[in-house]
Every structure is written in C-alpha cells, then in structure tokens.
Amino acid sequence: MPSEGNVLPVATLCRPAVAVPEYVITLEETLELARSIHADHPQLLHALQLIENSRVRKRHLVQSAEEILERPGLEARTRRYEAEARRRVPPVVREALEHAHLTAKEIDLIVHVSCTGFMMPSLTAWLINSMGFRPETRRLPIAQLGCAADGAAINRAHDFCTAYPQANVLIVACEFCSLGDRPTDLETGTLLSDGLFGDAVAAAVVRGHGGTGVHLERNGSHLVPGTEDRRVPDSTALLAPVLAQLAGQHGWNASELDFYLVHAEGPRVLDELCAHLKVDPDRVRFSRATLAEYGNIGGAVVFDALARYFDEGTPTDRATGLIATFGPGITAEVTLGRWTVPVKPQPFAHTLIRSWN
C-alpha cells in the first residue's frame, strides 16, 4: 500500500446507513425466556450470568420470540431470509448512496456480506436487476468470515479502489442472526449466542475519489495459525499485536490513535483489547454502544459504530483511526485511515435510518 507521503488517490469510506427490525427483545425478556425454556438445565445460572455480562440491553429481530420458538426448517428460514432481505435492503442502500452523493449507476462493485442466510444467485444479482445498477457492475459476495466480514468488505473495497482509483464500491451487510437461533438447544454456548446476536442491515459506499469520512490508507489481514477451534475472546492476546504491527508499518502507534471502530464478539474482547494496547476504554465507545443497543449484529457492527461517530459530530479533519474486526479462524481484518472533511462540505439530505416503522 502507498506510504503516507504518496500522492496517489485514497479511497474514502463514507457515512453508512443502518436499519434494525421492528421486533425488540430486552435483556430482561431474554433472561425470562431462557428461564422458562430451560428451567431444569444444569448450567442455567451460568448461562444467565454470561448473558447478563454481555451488556446487551436489547436486540432488534426480524421475527417475534414466538416465531423463533417454532424453529422452522432450513428451507423455510432460507425463504424468510430472502424475503426480509428484499424488503429491508433497498431503502438502506438508497440512503448510503445519498450519503456518498452518488447514484446506483456510479457504483462499479457491490460487496455483499452475510453469514446468516444464503441466496443463489447472490443478493447482489437481485440488487442490480431491481435498483438501477449497471449490468456490468462487479459483484463480490462474502459468506464465511463471520464477525470479520465487515472489515474484510472494507478492505476488499479499498483494494479495488486502489487498483481502479476512480471506482466506487457499495458494501451491503444483511444479517438476520435470529433466523439461526436455537432456543431449545441445551449447549451453554448456544444459550449465550441466542442472547447476544441481533438483526440489522447496513450499507456504505467507498469512493475512489472525493467524499467525507475515513480515508483508507492501509489494510491487512491476519490468520492466527492453528486457531480454527478457538474462540475470539480467548485469543485477544494474539490479536492485539497484529493491530500494533500493522500500525507500526504505517508509522503510527496503535495506542495513540484518535478513534477505534472494533467489531468484537462481546465486551470482554473490547476490554482486553484496550488493556493490551493501553487505550482509554472511552475510545471504543461507539462499538460498545452498538453492542449494548443492538447486540452483535454480525457484518453490520463496524458500519453502525462508524455511523455513531458521524452522529456524535466529533470527528476532526486528519484524525487517525483504526478499524478492526475479528472472526473465526482466528482471523483479523484491519484498516488504518484518516478522517477527511471536504473544503466545501455538502449537507446530508436525510438522517440515518435507525428503525423501520
């Protein structure tokens, strides 16, 4: 990647659009549901404590708790995923395009991330056919990176804009985690997951030239060897040096950046990452807010955290930051960027989507 002194065009990650579904389940309701279904579970108290420690106050779901308990088969869940995606994705895409001041015809690549549903052909084909994208728009579905997918999408968009400096990339994250809930499963890990994950759709544009947001300067990917069977919370000590090393290669100190947008499985990873990097916990407040209000929303987490950074109105021109996502593997996707504000900023026409009515 170009060094800081290089004058080549730099891609910009623009303001995301994010939407969450209408069904809401609170922490108290989640705990009560677990108590009612698993009253005789030998590890119930332990599971309830883990759910409380997740610090997830509420989650938004595409289906009610009653529907989740019906536990339909794979075919029915796949049909539900497709129907919900087609209903909920277009308004979020339109808003992301507005934030980037682009039209569908100006998009050269669509990156779609989801680990909670499957469509063949990919949702990207339906978007091109139904939303006015050019038929020659390139498509990149990413389906098996889990919680690292949002970072991978940003990095692949960055790579594309580096190869084609005037290109524009649309990223779409469509995660309906509740479709995979297994409320009758007796494993403690499943009980925790069912109380941690939420549903959301997010979209953001990476512009090859122009735009307001994060100038993407360097990215990297790292697979920790021999960790296929490990969980991210157990691997923080191995992941923190990856962030420090990439920042060091760019001439930055990973402990002294202005903002951190992190997609972690839960609060423990955020806490330990701050400790290992010697970072003030307040610097990851946007990631914490996403986790508390929406739960772990898969590939939409980083985009919601970035949207909150926009909403807070605190970014300053040239502020340095880090985007990091971690997933199974154990995998890390890391991006370094610098905030950019145009000389003549244009007002946004709409506020960020927060929920559907």
Q: Judge whether 162 and 11 are in contact, CB under 8 Å.
A: yes
| Residue 64 burial (C-beta neighbours within 10 Å; 0-12, 13-18, 19+) | middle
- Choose the catalytic residue: 147, 161, 177, 274: 147
Q: Judge whether 152 and 123 are in contact, CB under 8 Å.
A: no
* Of the candidates 172, 178, 134, the residue with the CA atom closest to the CA atom of residue 156: 172
**How many angstroms separate the Cα of 95 from the Cα of each of 98, 170, 190, 353, 354?**
5, 12, 35, 8, 12
**Residue spans of alpha helices (H) in 14-172:** 27-37, 44-53, 65-70, 74-100, 123-131, 149-163
| Residue 226 burial (C-beta neighbours within 10 Å; 0-12, 13-18, 19+) | exposed
**Terminal Cα distance for the chain, rounded:** 43
Known catalytic residue at 147: yes
User: DSSP secondary-structure letter at 182?
Assistant: -
Enumerate the active-site residues: 147
